[in-house]
C-alpha cells in the first residue's frame, strides 16, 4: 500500500485540537492536544468517565460548538471552512438527549435525513425514496415503516434514529451514547448493527459510549479520554499500553488484562 492511497483513505483527522467552552470573558479548556486519524470504514468508540469531555468532543467535531485551537479535517477539508449546509453532506448525527417528536411515521422520520438533498418543499425524489428504503432495511425496520414512532420501543426508536443518519448518506456518522436506556441485549444488538454498517457501507462511525467492555470487543479504534488526556489506537494497542488501568479508582473497579474487561473488586474474596 502506497503512502498516497493511505492518505486518501483518511476520513477524519484532528490535529492538536483543543476542545472546551468559551464565552466573551473566559475560556474553559476541557481536553488539549487531541490528535487522531480515522479511516473510512472504521468503527470508533469515544470512551471516558462522566464529564471527561466525550460529548464536548462530539459537539466540536460536528461544529455545534467552536473549537478552541487546532484543526479538524473531514475528507481533507477543514471543518471550519465547511458551511452549515455543506456539512450536512459530510456528517450526520445520532443524538440521545434530544427531544424528538414521535408523532411521525418511521418512514417520515427516516426521510427527514434526506433534508440536505431535497428541493425547497422537501419533496422526495426517486433516489431519495431508494435511499430511505435502503436505510430502513439496513436496520431491519421495513415491516414497521408505516408505524408511528410513538408505538415503538426505545431500542426500535434508536434504530429509527440510526436509519435517519444512514439515509443522510454521509461518510461519517457521529453518535452520542447510542445505547443509553437500553438493556444489555439491545445494547449489543445496536453495537452489532453499527459494526455491520461500517463493514457493508464504507461509512465510519464515531460514537461516545460507556460500554467499555463491549466497545473493546467490537471497535476498530478507541479514543480514550482520561483526565484531560487522549489515548488513541486499536483496543489491543491501548490495552498493551496499560491505558485502561487507571481509568477508574482501583479500589472498586479494575481492568482485568487476561479477559480484557473491567471487573468489580469484591471485598470478601
Partner 1 sequence: MSSLFKNNILLLILLVLGILLSLSLGSVSIPLKVIIKSLLGFSSENSTWEYIIINYRLPKAITALLIGSGLAISGLLMQTLFRNPLAGPYVLGLSSGASLGVALLIMGGSLFYGILGEFIFSKWAIILAASGGSLLVMLAVLSTAQKIKDTMALLIIGLMVASLTSAVVSVLAYFSSSEYLQQYIFWSFGSLGNLSWLEVGILFIGWLVGLGFAVFSLKNLNALLLGENYAKSMGVALKRNRILIIVATSILAGSATAFAGPIAFVGLAVPHLVRQLIPTNNHRILLPSIVLGGAILMLLCDVIAQLPGSESTLPINAVTSIFGAPIVIWLLLRKRKLNF
Which residues would be at the binding site for partner 1 (CB under 8 A)? 62, 64, 84-88, 91-93, 95, 98-101, 103-105, 108-109, 112-113, 115-116, 118, 120-122, 148, 164, 168
State in angstroms the smallest separation of the CB of 19 from partner 1: 17
Between 86 and 250, CB nearer to partner 1 = 86
Q: Whose CA is closest to 86, among 170, 161, 157, 149?
A: 170
Between 99 and 252, whose beta carbon lies closer to partner 1? 99
| Tally of residues, the chain | 269
Nearer Cβ to partner 1, position 110 or 216?
110
Compare residues 85 and 258 and give the one whose CB is closer to partner 1.
85
Q: Which one-letter DSSP state was computed for residue 114?
A: G
Least distance between partner 1 and beta carbon 253 (Å): 32
Residue 74 Cβ, how far from partner 1 at the closest point, in Å?
13
Q: Which is nearer to partner 1, 62 or 179 (CB)?
A: 62
Residue 145 or 231: which CB sits closer to partner 1? 145
Cα 46 to Cα 70: distance, rounded to the nearest angstrom:
19
- Pairwise CA distance, residues 16 & 32, whole Å: 7
- For 11, 187, 215, 225, 253, the CA distances from 211, given in Å and listed in that order, are 24, 8, 6, 14, 14
Report the nearest approach of partner 1 to the CB of residue 124 (Å). Answer: 10
Q: Which is nearer to partner 1, 166 or 230 (CB)?
A: 166
What are 160's strand-pairing partners? none
Min separation Cβ 197 and partner 1, Å: 18
Rounded-to-integer distance, Cα 143 and Cα 8, Å = 39
State the cell numbers at 50.
462522566
Cβ 108 to partner 1 shortest distance, Å: 5
Contact, 108 vs 160, CB < 8 A? no
Q: Which helix (H) or strand (E) holds 163?
A: helix 154-167
Q: How far is the CB of 8 from partner 1 (least distance, A)?
A: 26
In this structure, what DSSP letter does residue 265 have? Answer: P
Give 210's strand partners. Answer: none
Rounded Cα distance between 118 and 116, Å, is 6
Amino acid at each position: 500500500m502506497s503512502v498516497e492511497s493511505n492518505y486518501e483513505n483518511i476520513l477524519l483527522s484532528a490535529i492538536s485540537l483543543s476542545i472546551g467552552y468559551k464565552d466573551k470573558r473566559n475560556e474553559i479548556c476541557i481536553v488539549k492536544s487531541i490528535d487522531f486519524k480515522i479511516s473510512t470504514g472504521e468503527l470508533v468508540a469515544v470512551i471516558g468517565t462522566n464529564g471527561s469531555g466525550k460529548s464536548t468532543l462530539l459537539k466540536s467535531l460536528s461544529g455545534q460548538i467552536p473549537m478552541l485551537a487546532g484543526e479538524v479535517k473531514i475528507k481533507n477539508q477543514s471543518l471550519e471552512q465547511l458551511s452549515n449546509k455543506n456539512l450536512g453532506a459530510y456528517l450526520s448525527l445520532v443524538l440521545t438527549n434530544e427531544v424528538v417528536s414521535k408523532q411521525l411515521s418511521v418512514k417520515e422520520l427516516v426521510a427527514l435525513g434526506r433534508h440536505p438533498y431535497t428541493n425547497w418543499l422537501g419533496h422526495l425524489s426517486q433516489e431519495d425514496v431508494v435511499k430511505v428504503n435502503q436505510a430502513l432495511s439496513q436496520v431491519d425496520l421495513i415491516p414497521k415503516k408505516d408505524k408511528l414512532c410513538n408505538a415503538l420501543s426505545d431500542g426500535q426508536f434508536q434504530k429509527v434514529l440510526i436509519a435517519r443518519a444512514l439515509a443522510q448518506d454521509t461518510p461519517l456518522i457521529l453518535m452520542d451514547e447510542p445505547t443509553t436506556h437500553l438493556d444489555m441485549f439491545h445494547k449489543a444488538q445496536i453495537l452489532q448493527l453499527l459494526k455491520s454498517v461500517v463493514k457493508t457501507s464504507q461509512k465510519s462511525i464515531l460514537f461516545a459510549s460507556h460500554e467499555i467492555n463491549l466497545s473493546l470487543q467490537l471497535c476498530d479504534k478507541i479514543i480514550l479520554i482520561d483526565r484531560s488526556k487522549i489515548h488513541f489506537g486499536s483496543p489491543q494497542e491501548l490495552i498493551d499500553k496499560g491505558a485502561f488501568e487507571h481509568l477508574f479508582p482501583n479500589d472498586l473497579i479494575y481492568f482485568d488484562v487476561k479477559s480484557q474487561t473491567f471487573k468489580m473488586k469484591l471485598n470478601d474474596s
